[in-house]
Structure 1
Amino acid sequence: MSEQTPEPDIEQLTIWRNVLDALGQLDAAWGNVAASSEDSEGGAGSLPRFPDGLVLALTNAGMKGSQALAGIADALNERSGQDFSEVTEAQADVAARWNAVQARVSGDPESAQG
């Protein structure tokens, strides 16, 4: 009897579809940001500075997003039958960098060690 990889069940497929939907929403939202930035008068020097609370919130979101993308890369590397090892390594590096920045922005050096 040969070993076969089991097909994902309905619940697993639903979870992955939710991930795809969330990434689609993120892409659309980022498109809105990019369009809004293009509509602004002047160059980058004329853009208003972000309030500290927004900087922290965006940093936290960036950190969580990078961790999610690292997890997706790991899942693809382990389950797709394709080689995603370079993407996995790159995403792990990006996630580590976001963690370090988040620790600086939040003023919590302990969070970078986790």
Structure 2
Amino acid sequence: MAQYSAELDGVLIALADPTRRGVIRRLGRGPTSVGDLAREFPMTLPSFMKHVRTLETNGLISTVKSGRVRTCALSRGRLALVDDWLAEQRRIWEERTDRLEHLVTYPTEKQQ
């Protein structure tokens, strides 16, 4: 897991902001223009573009410019980094709780 630690850090930092999570949520319904996306958030377009750049830099969205319109699309594969990390954390904690349950249930057995 250490091989993609920096990538995971970037994705988690990008997802830490509620505006960026809102963009991800909206793009989950399908691609849309930056202008349409920006209208959903109470901020100036330059401020909104910083969020778009953060998401794009961390591989969570892609943008394509056609004429004067920039369209954003969700890069679903990048979310797999978070999913993999959460699955690993879930496995670790399930093992720990299983050991704790065993310890409490069978206190007289010699623990390994």
With the shorter chain as reference, the TM-score category is: 0.3 to 0.5
- Structure (1 or 2) with the larger CA radius of gyration: 2
TM-score by structure 1 length?
A: 0.33
Higher RCO (C-alpha under 8 Å, 6+ residues apart): 2
